[in-house]
Amino acid sequence: MICPRCKSEVNDDMNFCPQCGMKIERCPHCHQPIVSGAKFCSHCGSSVLKNYQESHIEGYYRPLSDIPYTESYHEPEEKVDFQEIKVNKKVNKNILVIAVSIMVVLTAVSYMYIYHGPSLSNHISGGQQPTDQPKDLPLEKMEISGTTSFATHTGNINQEGHVYQTEKMIYVVNDQGHLVSMDNKLENRKTIINEDCDYINVVGDTIYFTNHDSQLCSISTDGKDKKVVLNKEIYYLVVKGDKAYYQAQDDDLERIYVYDLKTNKETRLNDRNAYNLNVLEDKIYYTSSDGIYVVGLDGKGEEKVLDGKYYNLIYQNQKLYFLSKQGTENVLGANINVYDIATRKTEVLIENTGGLMNITDEYIFYTNSSQVMKYHLKTKESTKVYSSGLCESIQVAGDKLILEVQKNSFEEDEYLMIMDFDGQNTQKLFSSQNGDFI
């Protein structure tokens, strides 16, 4: 027979189903198996309803939907009459006024304590911050040395360009999205731009950037003469001399343009979607929806370098580094590859990364799950650099990493962490509460 519960085949001499353990009901007259809920035995024709009802007085739960209609029992309804109890409806206005006044005072006191009193976390930890929490104050003095290479600057631009290094100064977009300048010792800080800004480029005494409307803007390094240069949404801004290269949408395509800062003339350089602009001295490498392309600075000689779907393109020393994950727009789990322009050969360097990447002369920095990793280009070994938060971007200034971090996926606030390439001397770059400097 077939078990009525799991539909498995059960031998006639079995008392329980070997698959689900259900007890097999039998006819009280001929002792042959019967279907649960049957009124008559299919073997001898005898009525089994009464015995079936009695056999279920055991101890396991039986849904009411399994009980035949004749078995259902209806509890007789009992009508209860309630008598109205008389109460005194007079309100004591004095007591009511006093109660409301007390509530107002307590609410005001609570508000003042929450927003101006000591932090609850300090009470819990005995007045000290937990060791796994980032500090608002520096652990020790820090100085940025070295320079930012072309590849590193491109990696920064690929991640909205929030860090830019010159010979003497560092320009960083702080936790509130405003541009701050500081020297190589992270001192002498000054807020240059008091609004959201991206794609920082510094040429001489002028800072070029995009504002909250993604318009091309400029301002002097001392914070004066801010103006909108081009009233147009642009991305991947790279400024070289008196030319600004960028991506902008036109006729449903996101093409490459160059804007002459002296003549105010804009020229389109290609006719396809373009991302991750790598502007060299004579050409531009970029990614499109179907591969990697190269085009001259004058818009001539465009050709496809590599066919496929790629992300985060960075040029360095006649090689192209990029992320690849075929057949999907999600870069999580992507591989980091290198393409040798001379030999036209592609090699997979790192598999299954988190989708972020930046590069220096010696290392590739990338995310792996919630960790920031460092890959040595010569030894081809990976080591962990940082794992105390969710990394949103990897920017580099000289010999220091500047990470945009979320403590966890439940907190929306992001803050900047600065550290050595090996993850040592890790500290907050700005205060998390009000944007004050260290």
Give pLDDT, residue 360.
Answer: 97
Residues in the chain: 438
CB 191, CB 175: distance < 8 Å? no
* Strands across the sheet containing 215-220: 198-203, 206-210, 215-220, 227-233
Q: What does pTM read for this prediction?
A: 0.67
Give pLDDT, residue 135.
Answer: 40
Give pLDDT, residue 86.
Answer: 63
Give pLDDT, residue 90.
Answer: 64
Compute the average pLDDT of residues 133-139.
42
Give the residue with greater pLDDT, 146 vs 134.
146
Give the confidence band of 72 by pLDDT, cuts at 50, 70, 90.
very low
Give pLDDT, residue 181.
Answer: 97
Compute the average pLDDT of residues 235-240.
97
Report the Cα 219 to chain-centroid distance in Å: 32
Q: Compute and round to an integer the Cα radius of gyration of the chain.
A: 36
- For 330-357, how does the pLDDT look when each residue is reduced to its tens digit (9 = 90+)? 556 789 999 999 999 999 999 989 888 9
Give pLDDT, residue 25.
Answer: 78
Give the confidence band of 140 by pLDDT, cuts at 50, 70, 90.
low
Give pLDDT, residue 123.
Answer: 44
Burial class of residue 238 in the structure, from the number of CB atoms within 10 Å of its CB (0-12 exposed, 13-18 middle, 19+ buried): buried
Compute the average pLDDT of residues 95-123.
72
Compute the average pLDDT of residues 250-260.
94
pLDDT surpassing 50 at residue 125: no
- For 10-48, how does the pLDDT look when each residue is reduced to its tens digit (9 = 90+)? 776 677 776 676 777 777 777 677 766 677 776 676 676
Give pLDDT, residue 145.
Answer: 94
pLDDT surpassing 50 at residue 243: yes
- For 391-416, how does the pLDDT look when each residue is reduced to its tens digit (9 = 90+)? 999 999 999 999 999 876 555 678 99
Give pLDDT, residue 89.
Answer: 60
* Angle formed at CA 62 by CA 60 and CA 64, multiple of 5 degrees: 155
pLDDT surpassing 70 at residue 49: no
* Interatomic CA distance for residues 438 and 242, integer angstroms: 35
* Interatomic CA distance for residues 374 and 182, integer angstroms: 26
Quote the tokens at residue 428: 């907050």
* Interatomic CA distance for residues 130 and 237, integer angstroms: 40
Quote the tokens at residue 92: 């004591």
- For 142-177, how does the pLDDT look when each residue is reduced to its tens digit (9 = 90+)? 999 999 999 999 999 999 999 999 999 999 999 999
Give pLDDT, residue 413.
Answer: 75
Give the residue with greater pLDDT, 204 vs 56.
204
Burial class of residue 407 in the structure, from the number of CB atoms within 10 Å of its CB (0-12 exposed, 13-18 middle, 19+ buried): middle
* Interatomic CA distance for residues 256 and 265, integer angstroms: 14
Give the residue with greater pLDDT, 184 vs 30.
184
- For 362-390, how does the pLDDT look when each residue is reduced to its tens digit (9 = 90+)? 999 999 878 999 999 999 999 999 998 88
Give pLDDT, residue 239.
Answer: 98
- For 106-117, how does the pLDDT look when each residue is reduced to its tens digit (9 = 90+)? 988 887 766 555
pLDDT surpassing 50 at residue 71: no
pLDDT surpassing 50 at residue 99: yes
pLDDT surpassing 60 at residue 268: yes
Give the confidence band of 191 by pLDDT, cuts at 50, 70, 90.
very high
Please identify which residue in the block is written with the tokens 């040395």: 145
> Which residues, at least 6 apart from 92, have a Cβ–Cβ distance to it below 8 Å?
none
* Interatomic CA distance for residues 175 and 82, integer angstroms: 65
Give pLDDT, residue 432.
Answer: 47
- For 275-302, how does the pLDDT look when each residue is reduced to its tens digit (9 = 90+)? 999 999 999 999 999 999 999 999 999 9
Which residues does residue 291 pair with via DSSP β-bridges, in sequence order? Answer: 288, 307
Give the residue with greater pLDDT, 122 vs 248.
248
Give the confidence band of 438 by pLDDT, cuts at 50, 70, 90.
very low
Mean pLDDT of the chain: 82
Give the residue with greater pLDDT, 265 vs 53.
265
Give the confidence band of 58 by pLDDT, cuts at 50, 70, 90.
very low
